[in-house]
């Protein structure tokens, strides 16, 4: 939906010419580069396409920005997934050397290298590494909207069998509103060439998130593991240390309970029973 005073341009970021033309027409002061494949599973299914979009698409936008020959802050939205095998049991800070374990993480690390390299050619770049964030609008490709959608398909009080993947993984969940606010802070106050983790700083197992969701849902739930939902390679724990972003004046304001409530409410609205 176009907001008054704004212009919508739809462009395929792998189309170098079209991207350059759109950026030249808009002449932005800042770009938040989120365009890409965001699902770990989708990227593993088609690695070439994932690199073309996530890495090649980043190069295309970076070149378009440099082609402006005018000041334009470039915020690259990477991912906590880049840490991969380097991730330990506790919160990691940005000085840890990334070691991606899956195609998605590798495409995002590649995008970081592409963007950061171009600071030497004058790009005013800042890199965000968000960890898992949820809220209305996220599709059931991802874990919590998937669980919420399955719950919403039966009325409150009814019984439902919920299909799940690996519940032992630990992730750092935030409300999407906190992550979006952090992007605004990074656009204004992030230091050129620096990388910032964005998350809650707290690790939660998928199992614990599922239990919170079930308790809130008011349904009678039986849980069953669907082998198709298990990943061949899984990072056991992924939690971000967020002190560097907090030092800029940002802090999370929303709880994961609120995020879960918002996701469940949206799924119930979309699946009236
Ligand atoms: N999708 C999905 N579906 N994941 C499941 C399921 C299920 O039924 N059951 C368990 N999981 C586990 C996955 O194995 C993974 O450990 C965790 O739940 C989270 O999976 P996703 O929600 O698919 O997200 P992700 O962690 O792979 O990636 C998300 O977070 C990254 C930042 O940490 C995405 O939002 C990425 O775009 C983002 O960069």
Confirm whether 2-133+173-198 and 143-169+203-270 share one CATH topology: no
In this structure, the residue with its CA closest to atom 16 of ligand 1 is 169
CB of residue 109 inside a 6 A radius of ligand 1? no
**b/e string for 42-63 if b means 16 or more Cβ within 10 A?**
ebeeeeebbbbbbbbbbbbbbb
Instruction: Report d(CA 159, CA 214) in Å as an integer.
Output: 11
Instruction: Report d(CA 162, CA 221) in Å as an integer.
Output: 7
**C-alpha 40 to ligand 1 mean position (Å):** 7
- Counting residues of the chain whose pLDDT is more than 70, the rounded percentage is 97
Atom of ligand 1 minimally distant from the CA of 81: 33
Helix (H) or strand (E) holding 63: helix 57-68
Mean pLDDT of 84-101: 96
**C-alpha 266 to ligand 1 mean position (Å):** 19
pLDDT at 5: 60
The highest-level CATH class for domain 143-169+203-270 is: alpha beta
Q: Where are the domains of the chain?
A: 2-133+173-198, 143-169+203-270
Q: Model confidence over 196-246: pLDDT tens digits?
A: 999 999 999 999 999 999 999 999 999 999 999 999 999 999 999 999 999
Instruction: Report d(CA 127, CA 32) in Å as an integer.
Output: 10
Residue 265's region, left for phi above 0, alpha for psi from -120 to 50, else beta, is alpha
Q: Model confidence over 28-84: pLDDT tens digits?
A: 999 999 999 999 999 999 999 999 999 999 999 999 999 999 999 999 999 999 999
- Angle at which helix 206-217 crosses helix 143-152, to 10 degrees, equals 30
Instruction: Report d(CA 114, CA 63) in Å as an integer.
Output: 10
pTM for this structure? 0.96
> Could you give the 3-state DSSP secondary structure of residue 148?
helix
Ligand 1 pocket test: which of 36, 146, 171, 239 has the largest number of ligand atoms within 8 Å of its C-beta? Answer: 171
CB of residue 40 inside a 6 A radius of ligand 1? yes
In this structure, the residue with its CA closest to atom 26 of ligand 1 is 132
CATH 3.40.50.300 fits 2-133+173-198, yes or no: no
**C-alpha 250 to ligand 1 mean position (Å):** 25
**C-alpha 143 to ligand 1 mean position (Å):** 5
């Amino acid at each position: 939906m176009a907001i008054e005073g704004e212009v919508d341009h739809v462009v395929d970021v792998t189309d170098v010419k079209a991207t350059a033309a759109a950026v030249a027409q808009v002449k932005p002061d800042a770009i938040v580069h989120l365009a890409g494949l965001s699902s770990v599973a989708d990227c593993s299914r088609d690695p070439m396409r994932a690199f073309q979009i996530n890495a090649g698409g980043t190069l295309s936008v970076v070149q378009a920005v440099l082609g402006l020959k005018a000041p334009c802050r470039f915020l690259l939205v990477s991912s906590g997934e880049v840490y991969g095998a380097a991730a330990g049991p506790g919160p990691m800070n940005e000085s840890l050397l990334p070691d991606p374990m899956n195609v998605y993480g590798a495409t995002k690390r590649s995008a970081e290298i592409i963007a950061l390299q171009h600071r030497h050619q004058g790009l005013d770049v800042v890199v965000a590494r968000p960890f898992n964030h949820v809220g209305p609008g996220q599709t059931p490709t991802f874990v919590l909207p998937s669980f919420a959608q399955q719950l919403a398909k039966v009325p409150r009080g009814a019984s439902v069998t919920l299909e799940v993947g690996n519940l032992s993984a630990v992730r750092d969940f935030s409300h999407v509103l906190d992550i979006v606010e952090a992007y605004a802070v990074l656009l204004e106050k992030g230091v050129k060439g620096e990388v910032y983790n964005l998350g809650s700083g707290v690790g939660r197992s998928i199992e614990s998130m599922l239990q919170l969701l079930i308790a809130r849902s008011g349904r009678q739930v039986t849980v069953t593991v669907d082998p198709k939902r298990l990943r061949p390679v899984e990072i056991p724990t992924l939690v971000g240390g967020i002190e560097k972003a907090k030092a800029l004046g940002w802090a999370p304001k929303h709880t994961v309970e609120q995020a879960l409530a918002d996701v469940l409410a949206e799924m119930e609205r979309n699946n009236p029973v």
